[in-house]
Amino acid sequence: MKIYNTLSKQKEEFIPLEEGKVKMYVCGPTVYNYIHIGNARPMIVFDTVRKYLEYKGYDVNYVSNFTDVDDKIIKKAIEEGTSSEEVAQRFIEECKKDMADMNVRPATTHPLATQEIDGMIEMISTLIEKGFAYPAADGTVYFRTRKFAEYGKLSHKNLDDLQAGHRDIKVTGDLKEDALDFVLWKPKKDGEPYWVSPWCDGRPGWHIECSVMSKKYLGDQIDIHAGGEDLVFPHHENEIAQSEAANGVEFSKYWMHNAFLNIDNKKMSKSAGNFFTVREIGAKYDLQVLRFFMLSAHYRSPLNFSADLMEAAKNGLERIVTAAENVKRLAGMAAGEMNDTEKELFAQTDAYVEKYEAAMDDDFNTADAIAAVFEYVKFANTNVSAENSKAYLDAIYDRLKLLCDVMGIIIEKEAEVLDEEIEALIEERQAARKNKDFKRADEIRDQLAAMGIVLKDTREGVTWKRA
């Protein structure tokens, strides 16, 4: 299995620090509002990476934080006349709902920045002791960027170039030793949440939060650190500097970053009016469609979101689900073990699994993996019928389900229980059709449609689904 490592700018064979185990940290959202579809991409992508690693037999310790103290959260709290804690907790719960609807599995641990302050103070103290950080007169603690010799190794930026391109806004009272030094701890402002520290009452800088949470829940060294490409610099670059300066060992072996999501070929922004939350998309589509859409491109490729592409994703997903439902329906009416012909047919599906695994082993190429699934679906549609044995049909279904499960695509719909009124209406419509009262049958169909129930008449009887 090969992973593209942002650190080396090339694909590398994946070799975990500890055989059979993977320690993985993914930067989570800042919780001051509903998550947007840009937030959704890394959630879906790296959840799929996790699931494939598990499919390959690895025990994955997957940590993804919630940033629950931040200027944006404080601003929202002031606007609402409430506390930062209330805002953060509310939107953590809303985020978890959206994640569940996208079939993103909860992390092994979802740490909160505000619950790890002691660890942050401890790491900052270590950095000061080692000479990598210094407290200024006002209580702000800065990291000495130039003291960390490898600064820039992830973003491939040169310190001198950064200095030349940096707008030096040094004014009277600016207490930095160097314009490139960044904040580890900052003093409180009126009305803001704060914690007591040796330097001042205040709160941590954003970068130190992830370094500390990763260390606490995964250790000094991890296998994979991941997030959106917008985090490469300065966030992940600063994490490396802090963690390696404090811990004295390489922070993460592999760095993975997903590319940006555009809306109708433009950058998503509220001012441009093309900003969509996951909740808004969920009002128009099953969020399984959004997940399928996100996986239809390689994670390192820019992805363009549009109504047409979402419709294409919806249709593609329906092809897979319809094929699965057909196989399952036939299996429910079948019996018996596989005959020799069926065994030979089923053996042919090994080729699709091999294609799927080859795609995923090549830096998690979900686009090619989905193409392999479509080939499998075509095979299934051509090579299953009511004449097949239950064992063969079950095997065809189970293999399709396994490949889809890895990508978080749900093909097995939960059985839904209709309430008595709907059941009675369906029975009444059947009776009306039997009596050739088609007017009444159509009226009932329309009535059920208004209730969100779509009927489909087949040779085997009436099937239905919710609109």
Give the per-residue pLDDT at 460.
62
Residue 152 near residue 159, CB atoms below 8 Å? yes
Rounded to an integer, what distance in angstroms lies between the CA atom of residue 273 and that of residue 276?
9
Question: Which H/E stretch holds residue 79?
Answer: helix 71-80
- The DSSP code sequence of 415-432 is P-PPPHHHHHHHHHHHHH
For residue 303, give the amino acid letter.
L
Rounded to an integer, what distance in angstroms lies between the CA atom of residue 393 and that of residue 331?
5
Cβ-based neighbour number of residue 415 at 10 Å? 5
- The DSSP code sequence of 17-61 is SBTTEEEEEE---B-SSPPBHHHHHHHHHHHHHHHHHHHTT-EEE
Rounded to an integer, what distance in angstroms lies between the CA atom of residue 214 and that of residue 228?
17
Give the per-residue pLDDT at 165.
54
Question: Collapsing DSSP states into helix, strand and coil, what is residue 345?
Answer: helix
Give the per-residue pLDDT at 415.
56
Cβ-based neighbour number of residue 204 at 10 Å? 25
Q: pLDDT tens digits for the chain (467 residues)? A: 999 999 999 999 999 999 999 999 999 999 999 999 999 999 999 999 999 999 999 999 999 999 999 999 999 999 999 999 999 999 999 999 999 999 999 999 999 999 999 999 999 999 999 999 999 999 999 999 999 999 999 999 988 877 765 544 343 347 899 999 999 999 999 989 999 999 999 999 999 999 999 999 999 999 999 999 999 999 999 999 999 999 999 999 999 999 999 998 888 877 777 889 999 999 999 999 999 999 999 999 999 999 999 999 999 999 999 999 999 999 999 999 999 999 999 999 999 999 999 999 999 999 999 999 999 999 999 999 999 999 999 999 999 999 999 999 999 876 555 667 788 888 899 899 889 998 998 889 888 888 878 888 776 678 777 76
Question: Which H/E stretch holds residue 314?
Answer: helix 307-333
Tokens of 116: 């790890």
Residue 206 near residue 238, CB atoms below 8 Å? no
Rg of the Cα atoms in the chain = 27
Rounded to an integer, what distance in angstroms lies between the CA atom of residue 316 and that of residue 374?
9
Question: Which H/E stretch holds residue 182?
Answer: strand 182-187
Rounded to an integer, what distance in angstroms lies between the CA atom of residue 8 and that of residue 156?
9
Residue 131 near residue 144, CB atoms below 8 Å? yes
Give the per-residue pLDDT at 417.
52
- Residue 279: C-alpha distances to residues 92, 317, 407, 460 (Å): 14, 20, 21, 37
Give the per-residue pLDDT at 172.
39
**End-to-end CA gap in the chain:** 41
Q: Could you tell me which of 454, 441, 339 has the C-alpha nearest to residue 395? A: 339
